[in-house]
A and B are shown apart, each in its own frame.
Chain A
Amino acid sequence: MIPTYYYVALSAIMFAIGVIGVLVRRNVLVTFMSVEMMLNAANLVLVAFAFARQDILGQVIVFFVIVVAAAEVAVGLALLVTIFRTRQTTNVDDMTLLKG
């Protein structure tokens, strides 16, 4: 049986890598991918605790997170495509205006 804190440590490391990715990368798509990886790190720790406590609701929460993430990716990528059409860039440093 694998101790729960192994999963917590792995999840924390993945979350930190995601945070660094968001802060360091300037390609907005890679930034978005890093956010997805942070969501996955949180999901992993939820499933680990669901197993440790034998509580199925932890897995149900992960199911909802996956559904919301799918909707978020669809809307987020549509926004990025729209921004690219008007700005012709995927560099976050060039996206300084809310105005279209």
Chain B
Amino acid sequence: MSEQTGSEDTVIRVRGLNKRFKDHVVHEGLDLDVRRGEIIGIVGGSGTGKSVLLQQIVGLLKPDAGQIEVLGQSVRDTSDAEYRALRRRWGVMFQDGALFSSLTVRQNVEAPMREQLEISDALRETMAGIKVRMVGLPENAHGKYPSELSGGMRKRAGFARSIALDPEIVFLDEPTAGLDPIGAAAFDTLIRQLQTALGLTVFLVTHDLDSLHAICDRVAVLAEKKVLAVGTMEEMLEIDHPWVKEYFQGPRARAAVGAAASGLA
């Protein structure tokens, strides 16, 4: 976890990915590389297949063609045992947390440990408690059920569950969607903090321009059925494509740039 064997090595490699739903082509010849230890933001208009890409990488959806390698292993052409072992090395946080509604917050975080590890109950409870505290949930939230939590707290609990097994990669699907600006900013900070503390690679599907400015090392733009451009935020501003220009230089984007700049000052 802690050691980094060269900052440039690729943990997710997608090559020539094709995906269609009946007549609707979502991805055609999509390539993407994610490097170890970075926070990559995936942006794109509605319906460009950001979540579909995420679901294919973690193996929930089967691509029609193309290769997906995570941590040097193919996600598709592996034995069940290898896939299970691979799955332990990543965590996924779904949009609304996707917590198990019949379990408390703490039990939700314990669930992956219970399934994947053979450890004592005491250690599991302690570690789940630490993870729940790490994502900034108050002490009285540990025993609450998901329905008793606010949207922001559910997202935090979902994040705690995704890091329950100390993964190398976490996939976050719209972590700040539906949060107020203060809550969203706090969540951004949390992602950055835990990313450095746990040495995570973060695959961040987002719409939030503020998140992109605040925490993403690189941004990948999904458009025209493929990854149109990858690079830092500064590089995005150089790209001459109508949608990219509109997205990164529109009025809301300028506000976000201003906010990021004043934050630095």
Check if A and B associate.
no
Which residues of B line the A interface, CB within 8 A?
Answer: none
